[in-house]
């Protein structure tokens, strides 16, 4: 399956979109949104990633096999972060027995 030739204009438009999102994410950092600053920053980064993956990396036109591999990669990354965070976040819920205290894991300050 050969890749179709995409017009240059499409790539330039995607690039301009990426620049716009970069300016947006920098601008949003100067507005106080509380915890939503992080949410906004990550949402914008994720949109930029989608633009690069779909257009520049051509996943729009790639085979199902490539897409499955890509989605599996992100799924594994999500597992890595979700399980690691759920471990650290819940460690302080039940205090460790005294006999363990010498090797107590870090708790939330």
Partner 1 sequence: MTDAEAHAQHAGLAHQFEDLDQQQDADALGIWLFLVTEIMFFGGLFASYAIYRWLYFPAFQGGSHILDIRLGAANTIILLGSSLTMVLSVRSAQVGNRRALILFLVATMILGGIFLGVKAYEYNQKFVEHVVPSLDWAPEGQTLARLAPGGLEHAQMYFVFYFAMTGLHAIHMIIGMGLLLWLVFRARKNDFTPHYFAPVEVVGLYWHFVDIVWIFLFPLLYLIGGRY
Return residues touching partner 1 (CB under 8 A).
1-3, 5-6, 8, 11-12, 14-15, 18-19, 22-23, 25-26, 29-33, 37-38, 41-42, 44-45, 48-49, 52-53, 55-57, 62-63, 65-66, 69-70, 72-74, 76-77, 80-81, 84-85, 88-89, 106, 108-109
Q: Min. distance of Cβ 102 from partner 1 in angstroms?
A: 20
Q: Min. distance of Cβ 95 from partner 1 in angstroms?
A: 18
DSSP structure class, residue 29: T
Q: Where are the alpha helices (DSSP H) in 1-109?
A: 8-28, 36-51, 64-90
Residue closer to partner 1, measured from CB, 69 or 98: 69
Q: Min. distance of Cβ 75 from partner 1 in angstroms?
A: 10
Left, alpha or beta for 3 (phi > 0: left; psi -120 to 50: alpha)? beta
Tally of CB atoms within 10 A around 55: 19
Chain centroid, CA 69 distance in Å: 17
């Amino acid at each position: 399956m050969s890749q179709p030739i995409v017009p240059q204009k499409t790539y330039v438009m995607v690039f301009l979109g990426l620049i716009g999102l970069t300016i947006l994410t920098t601008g949003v950092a100067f507005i106080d949104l509380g915890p939503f600053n992080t949410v906004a920053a990550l949402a914008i980064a994720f949109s930029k990633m989608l633009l690069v993956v779909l257009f520049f990396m051509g996943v729009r036109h790639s085979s199902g096999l490539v897409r499955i591999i890509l989605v599996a990669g992100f799924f594994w990354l999500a597992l890595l972060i979700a399980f690691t965070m759920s471990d650290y976040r819940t460690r302080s819920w039940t205090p460790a027995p005294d006999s363990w205290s010498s090797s107590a894991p870090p708790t939330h300050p």
